[in-house]
A and B are shown apart, each in its own frame.
Chain A
């Protein structure tokens, strides 16, 4: 018997192993099985670390309020009649804002601004709590 030549051998190997191209199909429940394993390993959605962030948020809020108060005090100390002074330019604009800050219209505006924020929060909560 003559030993097979390399070209014959390669052809035989090609035939044998190329037939595997279609191979097998995964079982029907394969995706579900993988996803069950994946979901059991998936980390829980990260919660916002309120406890850790609270001191920072309070400090930030206090600093912001301090800056605002200092700004208002600085404006008040400036002579309103000095030509070209910021107080002369800004005080007339601030007065109507301050007057309307406590009106019911302002509360409605704030409420309207809150609605998209709350909607977004609820949507994320419903989506990621599955």
Chain B
């Protein structure tokens, strides 16, 4: 996700900001706004909230820029910081997520007859992922955010790769077992909905 010239450019921009050239921070924002907004969006599925959270992450990055020692890539440091911000923000403004037990069963992954409902199934899956316990949710979302790269997800979470693998496995198992049950709540599919979406 980050090549050597890009790393050098990040380093130069951070150096300029730390030397007092605050407007140089716009270069970092332009470079990383899309991944940061997207990462936030995966956590809340709400564009407005995603941008708010990404802005808060950039502000936190600006305030703590001197703490980036340059040992890891700037993106690794930024994503880890953003993850902490997003977790905090989502706890502060809890989405009205339904529990896994309440989620409607998606179309059976192996059932060809229900293939036309694939988009509904995908949406139900995404919502089910958001309803997972935090540590499994983070592992699953980051794994796909980092294009199924376990080492990158581990660096962002600040945990060993083995932990990410274990959490991915457990998260998938939870999703599979819960979503394969008979569907008691399909009709009352409140599904994950943020208060802002409900307005």
Chain A residues engaging chain B, CB cutoff 8 angstroms: 1-6, 8-21, 23-27, 30-31, 33-35, 37-39, 41-42, 45, 127-128, 130
The yes or no answer to B59 lying at the interface (CB within 8 A) is: yes
Query: Can you name the residue of chain A whose Cβ is closest to the Cβ of B126?
Result: A16
Cβ distance B180 to chain A, nearest Cβ, rounded Å: 5
Q: Which stretch (B19-27, B154-162, B189-197) binds chain A?
A: B19-27
A1 is contacted by which of B106, B111, B125, B176 (Cβ under 8 Å)? B111
Sample of 13 A–B contacts (CB below 8 Å): A1-B111, A9-B175, A16-B122, A16-B125, A25-B37, A26-B54, A27-B47, A30-B54, A31-B29, A34-B29, A34-B55, A35-B26, A130-B23
Task: Tell me the bound Cα distance from A30 to B33 in angstroms.
Answer: 8
Query: Given that A30-B33, A31-B29 are contacting pairs, would A37 and B59 also be in contact in the complex, using a CB cutoff of 8 Å?
Result: yes
- Chain A residues with CB below 8 A from B22, complex form: 38-39, 42
Q: Interface SS of chain A: helix, strand, loop or mixed?
A: helix
Question: 8 Å CB contacts to A: which residues of B92-131?
Answer: 106, 108-111, 118, 121-122, 125-126, 129
B contact residues, range: 35 or more
B55 touches A33 (CB 8 A): yes
A17 touches B30 (CB 8 A): no
B172 touches A9 (CB 8 A): yes
- Chain A residues with CB below 8 A from B82, complex form: none
B121 touches A10 (CB 8 A): no
Q: Interface SS of chain B: helix, strand, loop or mixed?
A: helix
Query: Given that A6-B176, A37-B59 are contacting pairs, would A17 and B111 also be in contact in the complex, using a CB cutoff of 8 Å?
Result: no
Task: Tell me the bound Cα distance from A31 to B24 in angstroms.
Answer: 12
A2 touches B110 (CB 8 A): yes
B41 touches A21 (CB 8 A): no
Produce 1/0 per residue, B133-173, CB < 8 A to A.
00000001100100110000000000000000000000010
- Chain B residues with CB below 8 A from A2, complex form: 108, 110
Cβ distance A110 to chain B, nearest Cβ, rounded Å: 30
Task: Tell me the bound Cα distance from A42 to B144 in angstroms.
Answer: 35
Query: Given that A30-B51, A35-B25, A35-B26 are contacting pairs, would A4 and B108 also be in contact in the complex, using a CB cutoff of 8 Å?
Result: yes
Question: 8 Å CB contacts to A: which residues of B47-68?
Answer: 47, 50-51, 54-55, 58-59, 62-63
B25 touches A11 (CB 8 A): no
A21 touches B55 (CB 8 A): no
Query: Can you name the residue of chain B whose Cβ is closest to the Cβ of A29?
Result: B51
Task: Tell me the bound Cα distance from A36 to B113 in angstroms.
Answer: 52
Query: Given that A12-B121, A19-B122 are contacting pairs, would A31 and B172 also be in contact in the complex, using a CB cutoff of 8 Å?
Result: no
- Chain A residues with CB below 8 A from B37, complex form: 23-26, 30
A24 touches B122 (CB 8 A): no
Task: Tell me the bound Cα distance from A29 to B62 in angstroms.
Answer: 19
Task: Tell me the bound Cα distance from A1 to B111 in angstroms.
Answer: 9
- Chain B residues with CB below 8 A from A34, complex form: 26, 29, 33, 55, 58-59
- Chain A residues with CB below 8 A from B111, complex form: 1
Task: Tell me the bound Cα distance from A37 to B63 in angstroms.
Answer: 11
Cβ distance B39 to chain A, nearest Cβ, rounded Å: 9
A38 touches B62 (CB 8 A): yes
